[in-house]
Amino acid sequence: MDSTATSAHAGMARARRFRSRIEATGFDDARGSRGHVSLPVVARIVAFGLPITVPGLFTLTAGPLLAALLWPILTSRSRPGPRLLTPVGLAVYGCVASGGVLALLSGAPAAFRRVDQWNALGQAIVLVSFGLIVIAAFWCVEATGVRWTLAMFALGFAVNVGRVRVGQVENLWKYGLGLAVVVIVLVGIPRARIGLQVIACLVLAAFSALNDTRNITGVLVLAAAATAVSPFMQNRRASAMKFIVSVVGFASVAYGAFTAISWAIARGWFGEAIATRQEIQQRAFGALGGRTEYGAFFSMFLHKPMGYGLGVFPSMNDIEVGKEGLDRYARGAGGAYVDDYLFGGNIELHSIAADLWVQCGLVGLAVAVVAGLVIVAAMADFSASSVDVGPAVLVYVAGQALWDLAFSPLIANYSSFALAVAIALFLRRGRALAGPSPVT
């Protein structure tokens, strides 16, 4: 008994010494001037690793592993980062618990659905990973600034695309490389160079259109318009009329730019293949603009609003309801994509929000809505935020996250979406710091 107690006391003493050394590295000092370890350097390394997938673990990135390793640092002092543990933890716990309960209900014999335990575990790990990446990314921004965090994350994202996608897809720009290059280019432009940011957005938008990546094109046009009017929105409290005029001007510029891009695509300026695809999608899909999966989401939500649960495979009735929705909203959509991807295993509706609803029910949908509102709130305040990057990259990251929330699958985009949520939370707290530029 005495030896056991002695060992326990010794272990507690070692833990206290380790925690003291962690805190002595200068966590309160963003530059790490008080300690031997430069926390900004550590934060940049962590940001680089957040989007890199771990070999053999499917889509699991190094983000949650790094967060677990750095947990004593992330929770060492009562800073804003540790205070996020409660809301983020509750959101993740609520999603996992709700998804588990729904899976038990969906797996009942009368439901005619099958629950795959390994798939359920994988989806739960993704949800937990999302929360850990939010916390880790928030700490990275706090320790090294928005500019360095975005630059290193984008660099890691590009490396991961090269490691995973090369040889699998022909259009690397469309499948990840474009996002990384856009962020790297925009974070390298000084905040005060508004004109240069606008030009960069438009050039990258045109290049994206040439590479059949219309979502990046659209978000970049939005970023260019927002950046163009940002000087007039910085003093909005001093003049309400000036702010209203700026908002109207932003809407007008954005609409004009979108119209011009659409007109150029339809005229074949960016290639006949892209023009033909846009014409077919607009004629067939109408307001959904090619994202047919929302037809299935609307029908399945009305059919079973509580959601399905983690790891649940759809019944034949669920598949029929989904296909009816696709046919109603997309007029004849179907084929191997629907049979093999959307309903071939887990229900996959190609949307972070829809996936959260499928897996976690109304709790997951509520988390998606709150995350979207946080990003929109930060996006609306981009010009007044005291950050170390220009408005173009902030609007682009926010706009791309909102696109992913609506139109991209959770399993492939949770790390980049978590980064956007972390930056949005940081901006809303008004604690951005002006870190050194990664581009000289």
Compute the distance between CA of residue 197 and CA of residue 192 in angstroms, rounded to an integer.
9
Q: Which two tokens stand for residue 135?
A: 């916390």
Q: Burial of 230 by CB count in 10 Å (0-12 exposed, 13-18 middle, 19+ buried)? A: buried
pLDDT tens figures, 206-246: 888 888 787 898 889 888 888 887 776 665 454 555 555 55
The separation between CA 116 and the C-alpha centre of its own chain, rounded to angstroms, equals 26
pLDDT at 381 over 80: no
What is the predicted pLDDT for the residue at 290? Answer: 55
Give the largest CA-CA distance in the chain.
84
Cβ–Cβ under 8 Å, residues 432 and 145: yes
> How many residues are recorded in the chain?
440
Q: Tell which wins on pLDDT, 56 or 368.
A: 368
The separation between CA 156 and the C-alpha centre of its own chain, rounded to angstroms, equals 15
What is the predicted pLDDT for the residue at 231? Answer: 76
For 42, residues 6+ apart whose C-beta sits below 8 A from its C-beta are 70, 73, 143
pLDDT tens figures, 354-373: 999 999 999 999 999 999 98
Average pLDDT of the chain is 77
pLDDT tens figures, 82-110: 567 788 889 999 999 999 999 988 876 65
Query: What is the value of pTM for the model shown?
Result: 0.81
What is the predicted pLDDT for the residue at 334? Answer: 62
pLDDT tens figures, 58-72: 678 888 888 888 887
Q: Which of 134, 126, 54, 119 is nearest to 95 (CA)?
A: 126
